[in-house]
A and B are shown apart, each in its own frame.
Chain A
Amino acid sequence: MAGSRRTLVRAMPAYLDHAATSPLRPQARDALLAHLGATGNPASLHGAGRDARRVLEESRESVAESLDCRPSEVVFTSGGTESDNLALKGAYRARRAADPARRRVLVSAVEHHAVLHAAAWLEQREDARVELLPVDAEGRVLTDALEAALVGDDVAVVSVMWANNETGVIQPVERLAALCRAHDVPFHTDAVQAVGAVPVSFADSGVDLLTATAHKVGGPHGVGVLLVRRGVQVAPLLHGGGQERDLRSGTVGVPSIAGLAAAYEIAVKEQAGAALRLEALRDRLVEGVRAVVPGVVVHGAGADRLPGIANLGFGGCEGDSLLMLLDAQGVEVSTGSACSAGVPQPSHVLLAMGIGEQEAREALRVSLGHSSSDVDVDAFLAAIGPAVERAGAARRVRR
């Protein structure tokens, strides 16, 4: 927010919303700054162009190493939403064109809206039949449901996220990808939250299309990747110069891409250690909350989860009241769910897990990342008790 700098900055807020965006890492900042002043379009044939091209391709190779894929499989985009749209719409259109009988699109019920709304668009405008793959009470996609849905050779594309952005629940992507492969159906996964948090190997996963973005792991905003396995057909969304593998047109932002590559490099290098550290921090936070608010619920706790995310349910409190009260204390968290016109809606993720609408409105997402420390956890624990008390009182006055 442009105007916020002037007056809203507080002394060191406890930032616990890394799943929304993560602070820029020093390595990414250095890479960005190193290239910001350079002239040169990577598509140009002269020296300046060649210099830009070299940075672009070195970044591509670096990303390929970080995500264990071939450099030629890396398509740079403007971020996660574009990558999801390109994967869903592009794979659907290509597969449908090759085989008109394939009009079913299978996506999990807990996908990000970039996937859900792209699928809904295909249903409304392009004759697709969208089916939501159900999840169990812990938020895990039922592999049996996918297996049953794949029978019939009429599925165009399947999309199931690597890990959920609200609960951190990790999906069995390798098994799901293998099922799709057996039916010759392209499988996409949104790995925006997974990269840097858990090991992500594109080669080993069996996934055909993988979305990732820079800013969730401490890279710059407005840049991401779609990994496209060799041989997988995807129709482009943006037409023009065909700069990225003829799949994505537009002059790419070389400094941003260098920043993305640097952020991935450090995040992947530090992943194992960071996971242990963040898991310990998160578990201390949850135990600390439990000591103050014994009734707290942890959504998805029975599943494998990302180390840095906890989705907490505070019975009798509106999540948005808690968010406001914590914000006033300099503790920055999220309800995890989307807004419609700024009004928090009950989370479709929690609803899909069988949680009631009222309980879904009681959720708060705490997400830690590379800059999180005990100080942040302490600030949260100091603020949560009084906030729960007040938010509970505010709920009780509602008729």
Chain B
Amino acid sequence: MRVVAAMSGGVDSAVAAARAKEAGHDVTGVHLALSRNPASYRSGARGCCTIEDSNDARRAADVIGIPFYVWDLSAEFHEDVVTDFMDEYAAGRTPNPCLRCNERIKFAAVLDRARALGFDAVATGHYADLRPGSGASEGLVELHRAADAAKDQSYVLGVLDQDQLRHALFPLAGTPKPEVRREAAARGLLVADKPDSHDICFVADGDNAGWLAEKIGDRSPQPSGEWGGDIVDDATGEVLGHHTGTYGYTIGQRRGLRIGRPAPDGKPRFVLDIEPVSGTVRVGPREGLRIDGLSGIRPRWCDAPPEPDVPLRCTVQLRAHGAEHAAVLTVLDASPDGSVAVELLEPAEGIAPGQAAVFYDGTRVVGSATIATTRRAA
């Protein structure tokens, strides 16, 4: 196959590209320029697609022996990922931009462009496993968790549909990360020791609140026209404090609430709810974070969509690197604009609307939905 290897400049995508070539594919390395103003040097923990990253990717392509180009996806990334991220926070939700990037950029804008240019697939350094389907998904491609549970990235790929997965390659599949680093060193790739990236790529220094304050601080909703809103006790309705923007809060957050008085019972208080229209942040005891059900919108199915209205026993993961919860999934409408209902057999804590619920059947990814509402456990 003719394959575009998306190369970030990190070790995972470099080894993935090398493996794709070794598997006999005709591989072209492509670094995605996602920032409109690439910084020359990495700032703090990790900046966004710096010139240094681009050079690292180029040198890796040289060593592997594949052609290399930079594709400018900055306009698409800004519109589909960065703007969406800001809008979601402004609406009081907690988005995951990595899923969005996979859905709209890597396996949409990049894949579409690659296919038009005569390529057959896009290879990335994600830790996830693609397997031929069986049973209901006979003839289809199934997405499974990576064998290395610590590195598994199937959660951020749960938004991909069958057409996208059929044109995807994840050459790292089940390889443990230390082995990937050893292999990179053995292949002479200078990025073998490069630190992992953890933060959101376009937020410098991992300072999410600071970044949001700068970008959407002036969009903070308040009927009075003033910035910010009240921090309210969820049980009594008592105003406990004031804040300068709901974007600085996420459900389950405990630190940085800056409430002067301790709770009467002396227990810590958590953000339980965010009301973007009034700008109200509701806080309360930890028990208030427990949810036992949720509704989801924008469902995506990796292989065969489940039957509507037929309750399906599965597990659900509600945040990146989060635990799996036993659940019953009921598809109300399987279409991309449809909806799902999820009963959690094991309650979950601190789940925010906007995050993705990714459904698993064993190691197989069934699909995903964006959490719209949650139901507090009685």
Interface residues of A (CB under 8 A from B): 1-4, 6-8, 320-321, 324-325, 327-328, 339-344, 390-391, 393-394, 396-399
Contacts and interface: CB of A to CB of B under 8 A. Distances in A.
Contact of A341 (B38, B63, B66, B113): B38
Given A327-B67, A328-B67, A343-B70, A390 B62 contact: no
Given A339-B70, A397-B113, 5 more contacts: A6-B65, A325-B118, A328-B28, A341-B33, A394-B116
A327 B115 CA distance: 17
Contacts of B76: 398-399
Nearest to B113: A394
A341 B116 contact: no
B72 A390 contact: no
A341 B51 contact: yes
Closest CB pairs A-B (n = 4): A7-B65, A3-B62, A342-B70, A394-B116
Nearest to A8: B65
Contact of A397 (B59, B62, B116, B118): B116
Interface of B: 28, 31, 33, 38, 51, 54, 58-59, 62-63, 65-67, 69-72, 74, 76, 109, 112-113, 115-118
Contact of B67 (A8, A343, A391, A394): A8
Contact of A342 (B33, B59, B112, B113): B33
Given A3-B62, A3-B65, A341 B117 contact: no
Nearest to B36: A343
Nearest to B70: A342
Nearest to A344: B72
Contacts of A320: 69, 71-72
A339 B51 CA distance: 12
Contacts of A327: 67
Nearest to B32: A343
A6 B188 CA distance: 14
A394 B70 contact: no
A6 B109 CA distance: 32
A343 B36 CA distance: 10
A4 B70 CA distance: 17
B113 A3 contact: no
B51 A390 contact: no
A393 B54 CA distance: 26
Contacts of B59: 3
Contacts of B31: 342
Given A1-B62, A3-B63, A7-B65, A343 B33 contact: yes
Contacts of A328: 28, 67
Nearest to B59: A3
Given A2-B62, A342-B33, A324 B70 contact: no
Candidate in A2, A6, A321, A397 with the most chain B CB atoms within 10 angstroms: A397
Contacts of A398: 76, 109, 112-113
A343 B32 CA distance: 9
Candidate in A321, A343, A390 with the most chain B CB atoms within 10 angstroms: A343
Contacts of A393: 116-117
A340 B62 CA distance: 20
Contacts of A399: 76, 109
6 contacts: A3-B63, A4-B62, A324-B117, A328-B67, A393-B117, A397-B112
Given A3-B65, A394-B113, A343 B72 contact: yes
A394 B65 contact: no
B85 to A, nearest CB: 19
Nearest to A386: B118
Contact of B117 (A4, A325, A344): A325
B117 A394 contact: yes
Contacts of B54: 341-342
Nearest to B55: A342
A382 to B, nearest CB: 16
A341 B70 contact: yes
Contacts of A2: 62
A389 B31 CA distance: 24
Contacts of B28: 324, 328
A399 B104 CA distance: 11
Candidate in A4, A339, A341, A399 with the most chain B CB atoms within 10 angstroms: A341
B279 to A, nearest CB: 34
A53 to B, nearest CB: 41
A228 to B, nearest CB: 34
Contacts of A343: 33, 38, 70, 72, 74
Nearest to A4: B62
A391 B117 contact: yes
A340 B49 CA distance: 13
A339 B113 CA distance: 20
Given A3-B63, A398-B113, A390 B69 contact: no
Contacts of A321: 113, 117
Nearest to A393: B116
Contacts of B33: 341-343
Nearest to A395: B116
A242 B72 CA distance: 45
A396 B109 CA distance: 11
B137 to A, nearest CB: 27
Contacts of B118: 325, 390
A216 B63 CA distance: 28
B116 A390 contact: yes
A245 to B, nearest CB: 36
A387 to B, nearest CB: 9
Contacts of A325: 117-118
Contacts of A1: 62
Contacts of B117: 321, 324-325, 390-391, 393-394
Candidate in A3, A8, A327, A390 with the most chain B CB atoms within 10 angstroms: A3
A347 to B, nearest CB: 15
Contacts of A391: 117
A397 to B, nearest CB: 4
Contact of B116 (A3, A4, A339, A396): A396
A388 B66 CA distance: 23
Nearest to A325: B117
B254 to A, nearest CB: 40
Nearest to A394: B116
A291 B62 CA distance: 37
Contacts of B65: 3, 6-8
Contacts of B109: 398-399
B320 to A, nearest CB: 27
A2 B62 CA distance: 8
